[in-house]
Homo-oligomer: A and B are copies of this chain.
């Protein structure tokens, strides 16, 4: 093992201790919690010890800057360190740590041989990619790219009423950085699926995000005694919500395996008392597909179910919010660049779709972008047991280093 590889694994091991869930490989470090604050302080100190200057912007994105070419724009690379409540250590955090080490390696090479350098380097730890404590997800990169209003984001509350502003200020993690001049963006992430592992592919060249349609439903019934009220008199919001949860799963069977993914991850009941028929349920329901046609058909079928439940169970069903996007491509020149690097390094590679969104989903709309995957054992994700082998982590750092070096030398920039 090279000294560079050993240095990465050592930093990686230390970082994985932040928010570690005892007795598991996993972590709990939701956005702007104490565990997130601790990893951010450690990460800032690490970056400073390697020659970066560290800044935060007004939504708590953390940037480590390495200047190679005074006044030049920056190759930005990174991901997010926040996690779901009980989750794997790799999701997001691997991308930030890989980015830091890639920048260190590229800076070392370009300082030794400065002629080809065209850009400076920035590693980024995006705030609140997961969206579990504060909605929506990808908050930091959404504000950075102008897709989400800063004040709206700062005023967002967690389930206990704490705002993003209060939580970040409590950690001292809001700053003054503005106007970073971005030349290009690169991100690496563990695959949240098992196709690469099954196909023996080390480097995923991400060429598109699945199409998706996400709903926040509010189902409204009428509070009643859950024992004595006649069944015919009830308007049960939880029953209405449960019918949608079941329907979402059953929609999948109308299509080819893998053509449609559906999910309900969050459901909140009011008043949620043992002897009260629920008057209100908030339900998040997602439809995702690589095919716009499948997604449209699933959407239409879901709306038929909504109508039927409204009518038969006598509940109101409102769509409080919905977001949809078509199959969302990454730029082909970024895919080609990543392929060249993988071939140069002798790493197996293939084009892959991502089902999940990433911060690069925001960045690709404002800068030339490369998105990379490494395999994840059994595709386990958002789970304490998420695991990626050391050799894949190290190959990913080498791949990202190659991509960042080419970007720093001006690749993809017109």
A381 CB to closest chain B CB (Å) equals 4
Question: Which chain B residues lie closer than 8 Å to A85 at the CB level?
Answer: 270-271, 273, 276
Shortest CB distance A388–B (Å): 14
* Interface contact B263-A272, CB-CB below 8 Å: no
Q: Chain B residue with minimal CB distance to A270? A: B85
Q: Is A275 an interface residue (CB 8 A)?
A: yes
Residues of chain B with a CB closer than 8 A to A284's CB: 274
A275 contacts B223, C-beta separation under 8 Å? no
A192 x B225 contact (CB < 8 A): yes
Return A173 CB to nearest CB of chain B, in Å: 22
Q: Does A366 contact B (CB under 8 A)?
A: no
Chain B CB count within 10 A is highest, among A222, A267, A276, A355, for A276
Query: Across the interface, do A132 and B382 meet the contact criterion of CB distance under 8 Å?
Result: no
Instruction: Tell me whether B84 and A231 are in contact (CB under 8 A).
Output: no
Check if A356 sits within 8 Å of B132, measured CB to CB. Answer: no
Task: Encode contact with B along A71-88: 1 for CB under 8 Å, 0 otherwise.
Answer: 000000000000011110
**Candidates B229, B252, B266, B274; contact of A273 at CB < 8 Å:** B266
Q: What separation, in Å, do the CA atoms of A356 and B267 have in the docked complex? A: 27
For window 235-262 of chain A, which residues contact chain B by CB distance below 8 Å? 236, 238-239, 241-243, 245-246, 249, 252, 257-258, 260-262
* Nearest 6 pairs of A and B residues by beta carbon: A226-B263, A242-B245, A225-B381, A192-B228, A228-B355, A242-B242
Q: List 18 A-B contacts (CB under 8 A).
A: A84-B271, A85-B271, A135-B274, A137-B274, A192-B225, A212-B227, A224-B383, A228-B381, A230-B261, A232-B257, A236-B249, A242-B243, A242-B245, A243-B246, A246-B246, A265-B278, A266-B274, A267-B269
Q: Which A positions have Cβ atoms within 8 angstroms of B?
A: 84-87, 130-132, 135, 137, 191-194, 210, 212, 214, 222-233, 236, 238-239, 241-243, 245-246, 249, 252, 257-258, 260-279, 284, 286, 288, 354-357, 379-384
